[in-house]
Structure 1
Amino acid sequence: MIEPLPDLLIAPIVRAALAEDLGRAGDITAQACIPADARLAAVFAARKPGVIAGLACARLALAELDPDARFEALVADGEAVAAGAALARVDANARALLSAERTGLNLMGRLSGIATLTRAYVDAVAGTKARIVDTRKTTPGLRALEKYAVRCGGGVNHRFGLDDAILIKDNHVAACGSVGEAVRRAKAFAGHLTKVEVEVDSLAQLDEALAEAPDVIMLDNFGLGDLAEAVRRTAGRIPLEASGGVNLDTVRAIAETGVDVISVGALTHSVGVLDIGLDAI
């Protein structure tokens, strides 16, 4: 079971999306065509196979416009479904349901797309010790939801923001003068619960980083041979994260070098939606 996000976190995102769609006058199509007291029953259904995430987004979108609506989830977030699978059954005021439809589908489709792609990466490295993690390359305002979707797909979250871990990148190193100096400054600054990760782009920088014992070392755009050599030199002393050049064609070979973590920006920055629709019944 995936621990769900609290409604308190999701609701402001859903409200903002509804407000964007409803505009100044509300859903004038529904107002024009449908009596105010009409009711409608419908089913959210997957048009293609995938892994579901974001059911709460559809539920909350509907509840915002019809607090008395009935929403029955038929699957759980993180569950793989076949094309045609019914995901949730709803019964609500017809105007409210049709006005909330697109907001719910937009969010659930995107999150399910992320979960589906993440599951493909996780399956691709099955049997190795490597874990698939996301990045901060998320849609502004949707980070918590998108990182939740990664968890629904079986992935693991990297840091959520600039404030929850120290990650020294190449420009930080340039500003400090060297990998070693950057790590020393970071360790002196960090609280006892704050981890320090440093990005290196060569085996020489790896050796420099190892001498300073950061919590994690990121191997940026290393070839397979250098990844394997980095694993050999590190000998399990410090977790290694591979980053750059990762796709579904390369991820298995990267995992087989022995790295601990593989970060994949594409999980959130280049994902397609899972096709989900709403069908009246």
Structure 2
Amino acid sequence: MTLHPPLPDLLIEPLLRAALLEDLGAGGDVTSRAVIPPGTVATACLNAREGGVVSGMQVAALAFRLVDPALRVTIHRPDGSACGPGDRLLEVSGDAASILAAERVALNFAGRLSGIATLTARCVAEAQGTRARITCTRKTTPGLRLLEKQAVLHGGGYNHRASLSDMVLIKDNHIAAAGGIRPVLMAVSARLSHALRVEIEVDSLAQLEEVLAVGGADAVLLDNMDEAMLREAVRMVAGRMTTEASGNMRPGRIAAVAATGVDYISVGALTHSAGTLDLGLDILTG
């Protein structure tokens, strides 16, 4: 799996601070303060309890350091690497109460992000041997898009636009509101900078034919088409635009869609339906 450079901690800190404040509440970790003698030192390991692809180690490490900068964190399985049951992903040493104060936030992020990376890797594997690239969508958890899209990269996928300002993506409701495919493409051509890429959604071959006739789009989103329609759409486009298949994409169908020759397959499920990879934090004893 390709390893991607980490995000700047500065971008992640606000998300972690909010999560830690939520978890610590007004009084902090009252349990640890009550039962752990001050100055108690421990070492804990974040372990995988099932196989998958790791994501969120940078995030988990930062969670521990935000609670207590004196904690020593070692990452054994970097983001984007594979793991199996029992593998040690991260180790943290220092004040025991500090470790436990950050434990749940670190695990929540790491489990969620590793689940996304694992599902992405599964979809990428189904498209292997074709030109198709697996990409995510904006169907992300509010506030966590940055991290969830990074997890898609860790799983071997690609990122679609991160926000509405990244590119022009004309969808069915835009076409309906603007009065049709020709008016909407003409408006884009007249009003927007050449620096913005333009993609337009179609759900029929007749719409695709109109897009090709009018021109002005760099990519076409082929929405909710079966494999036969996708193959014909790719033939019609003939390399003049980037082709993206979307709608009801899921593991088990990816291979058939990839075989149609599309360039990208966007899978909303990568972020809105991924499970949580089972991880645990255990304090070493003895």
TM-score by length of 2: 0.97
Q: Which whole-Å CA distance do the structure 2 matches of 1:183 and 1:108 have between them?
A: 42
AA at the equivalent of 2:188: A
Instruction: Give the match for residue 176 of structure 2.
Output: 174
Matched, 1:202 2:204: yes
Aligned with 2:187: secondary structure?
helix
Alpha-carbon distance, 1:26 to partner: 0.4
Aligned with 2:5: secondary structure?
coil
* Structure 1, 200-209 or 57-66: larger mean CA deviation: 57-66
Give the counterpart of 1:252 among 251, 255, 263.
255
Q: Structure 2: which 5+ residue stretches go unaligned?
A: none
Instruction: Give the match for residue 72 of structure 1.
Output: 74
Across the two proteins, how many residue pairs are aligned to each other?
A: 281
> Does the 8 Å CA contact 1:213/1:238 hold for their aligned counterparts?
no
Q: Which whole-Å CA distance do the structure 2 matches of 1:124 and 1:179 have between them?
A: 34
Give 4+ residue runs of structure 1 displaced > 6 Å after superposition.
none
Q: Which whole-Å CA distance do the structure 2 matches of 1:243 and 1:183 have between them?
A: 21
> Does the 8 Å CA contact 2:58/2:79 hold for their aligned counterparts?
no
> Does the 8 Å CA contact 1:121/1:132 hold for their aligned counterparts?
yes
> Does the 8 Å CA contact 2:189/2:216 hold for their aligned counterparts?
no
Q: Which whole-Å CA distance do the structure 1 matches of 2:129 and 2:195 have between them?
A: 31
Instruction: Give the match for residue 48 of structure 2.
Output: 46
> Does the 8 Å CA contact 1:190/1:196 hold for their aligned counterparts?
no
Matched, 1:10 2:21: no
Give the counterpart of 1:232 among 235, 260, 267.
235
Task: Kindly provide the CA deviation profile for residues 32-81 of structure 1, in whole angstroms up to 9, marking residues without a partner as x.
Answer: 11122111101110000010011111111111111111000111110011
Aligned with 1:126: secondary structure?
coil
User: Aligned runs of 1:64-213 on 2, under 5 Å?
Assistant: 64-211=66-213, 212-213=215-216
Alpha-carbon distance, 1:184 to partner: 1.7
Identity %: 52
Matched, 1:262 2:257: no
Q: Which whole-Å CA distance do the structure 1 matches of 2:118 and 2:124 have between them?
A: 10
> Does the 8 Å CA contact 1:187/1:196 hold for their aligned counterparts?
no
The alignment yields a C-alpha RMSD, in angstroms, of: 0.8
Q: Structure 1: which 5+ residue stretches go unaligned?
A: none
Instruction: Give the match for residue 274 of structure 1.
Output: 277
